[in-house]
Structure 1
Amino acid sequence: CGVHRLWTHRAYKATPALRRLLMTLAIMSFQHNVYKWCRDHRVHHRYADTDADPQDIRRGFFFAHIGWLVCRKHPAVIRASRTIDMSDLDHDPLIQFDRRYHVPLAVVIWGAIPTLIPWYFWSENLWVALFVCVFYRHAFTLNVTWSLASVAHVFGNKPYDKHISGTDCPMEYVMMGESYHNYHHTYPWDYSQCEHGKFVAFNPGTLFIDFFAWLGWAYDLRKPSRENVKNRKLHTGQTIPRY
């Protein structure tokens, strides 16, 4: 909701309090600093399914899932990363603070606090707390995130744009509403990342943003018109019913 929908795609705006909360959650996930995560994802969207795509699914399922993190970057990816517009984040003090202190902050927020809470409050074994609350949680959330570049570019339907690799894959309960990937690559700036209403599709991320919009902490939520989406489906979508 923060790194992806707010800072990468600017799908809505947030008050300073919500931005600090989202930054804390981003650090807790420990998936690179927000600046780097956003840059890579903006490149992925702009150059999807080309050599400049850092998670290019054409290079294989394993590469798109995790291989792109351990392999040398394609020269086209490096060139694209230098040209992508990051001016909004370059001038964001909170983003730059995280960029400078991400690792020490993560040691505390990602590692120490989740380990010490069960150890202190209900006398959990320290090693069990570390492995379950930190290492297992981290491995699980990493693979869910990586699945957006692998699973959601291979399995599923393409009701909005049949010409791209992103799919609406049947994993919304695992991906917490991020699995409507064909829609997302068609309308990356939609704050809900889904055509269907929050009570029709499983989309906790949208519920989270809507809750804070109700509080007044999130505002200027962006979403295409129903007519726009309908016309796009008719012109470029697959004629396959939603799973």
Structure 2
Amino acid sequence: MKLKDFRWSTGVFLILSPIGAIAALSYYFYYDAFQWPTVVFAVFMAFATGMGITAGYHRLFSHKSYEASAPVRWLLTFFGAGALEKSVIEWSHDHRNHHRYVDTDTDPYSINKGFFFAHIGWLFVKRGTNGRAKVDINQVKDLWADPFIRFQHNYYTAFGLFVCFLFPGLVALAWGDFWGGVLIAGLVRVVVVHHGTFCINSVCHSIGRQPYSHRHTARDSWISALFTFGEGYHNYHHEFPADYRNGIRAWQYDPTKWMIWTLSKLGLTKNLIRMPDEKILESKLEIKSENVTPEKQPELALSRQEFTQAAQEFRQARKAYQAAKKQSGASSELHKSFIEARKSLMQAYNEQKAAIKLALSASAA
């Protein structure tokens, strides 16, 4: 990258902000200057701005994986601005390009350009240079139609700085700690949130398992999920980006998923998209069978056919059950058929998985 292509405002802030955060923490620890209300509020701001990115910028605005009421959209747009990761428009534009061109030179934060580049280096590059595209409103017309998102984009610098620094300072002023609000709930918090988000582009494309696809570098890691608000199940996300969940198991740490689901029970979000179980299982079987040799593939034909049949029957049972629920409530018979079809699907999945394991063992021998 040439010096003239360096994005000075962003680069200088991203370099100096961690230094400032360390200095602020050192001062507060040395002089025992922490006020507990400020610390608690800093945790709230980390959660609110982090969720503004993951539940708002990412799953709602970039992927449209659910629908949200106007107040929820406004709050996610407001607090997302406080993460200082640019506007909804810019963020979503880059992220949609990331999925469209993942792992290619056109991917705005391709891991193939190096860990540092994917983590933070790509933000130092001016738009229109070194493969970083200028914002094309045509790619985010759905978002541009929202007046509040448009307002946030047009006045982002003032908007973002207000939410990031002045807003927490004014709140902390209520207990006489304006500068604590600015420095602890503002500066220190934004550095933590920054690098949590940045890890999604770097760590989540480098470390972990690939249980759903090898078509891209995205990986699943529960450790990554802990500091990315549940975004660590990234292999699943890249394979099924429309799903409102990243961690699809109930026990997988994905607070973003839990918040979206909870809001749906309160009537504040709706039409949460979930990938059908049979598609997820099919993807897992496909990746498990990748290393089966061609001569062993015919041995999988019967169990594969049985899985395909079970998936079709499960799809039909689910469709009938959901249609009945929308009308006047599903009958116990339809519910029973749905449960039985799911059991058959899982049995067929396990049989196909066992057949694949046997074929792999035979190939190794």
Matched residue count: 234
Distance 1:90 1:202, change over 3 A: same
Q: How much has 1:84 moved relative to structure 2?
A: 6.7
Q: Which runs of 5+ in 1 are unaligned?
A: none
The structure 1 residue matched to 2:195, chosen from 125, 137, 143, is 143
CA root-mean-square deviation: 2.0
Q: 2:143 maps to which residue?
A: 89
Q: Which protein shows a greater Rg? A: 2
Per the normalisation by structure 2, the TM-score is 0.61
Which stretch of the first structure deviates more once superposed, 129-138 or 230-239? 230-239
Q: 1:74-123, CA deviations, whole angstroms, 9 ceiling, x for partnerless residues? A: 554427x54972221122222111111222222322211212322331x3
Find the aligned partners of 1:222 and 1:51 in 2 and give their Cα distance: 30
Find the aligned partners of 1:83 and 1:14 in 2 and give their Cα distance: 22
Q: Which runs of 5+ in 2 are unaligned?
A: 1-54, 291-365
Which stretch of the first structure deviates more once superposed, 90-99 or 185-194? 90-99
Q: How much has 1:130 moved relative to structure 2?
A: 2.1
Please state whether the residue corresponding to 1:111 is helix, strand or coil: helix
Q: How much has 1:129 moved relative to structure 2?
A: 3.2
Q: 2:108 maps to which residue?
A: 54
Please state whether the residue corresponding to 1:85 is helix, strand or coil: helix
**Identical-pair percentage:** 31
Find the aligned partners of 1:76 and 1:108 in 2 and give their Cα distance: 31
Per the normalisation by structure 1, the TM-score is 0.89
Q: 1:164-216, CA deviations, whole angstroms, 9 ceiling, x for partnerless residues? A: 1000022221112111000010011100123212xx11111011101110111
Q: 1:156 maps to which residue?
A: 208
Q: How does 1:92-103 map to 2 (within 5 A)?
A: 92-103=146-157
Which stretch of the first structure deviates more once superposed, 173-182 or 89-98? 89-98
Q: How does 1:189-228 map to 2 (within 5 A)?
A: 189-197=242-250, 200-228=251-279
Find the aligned partners of 2:289 and 2:229 in 1 and give their Cα distance: 24
One-letter amino acid matched to 2:217: S
- Cα pair 1:44 1:55 within 8 Å, conserved: yes
- Cα pair 1:43 1:84 within 8 Å, conserved: no
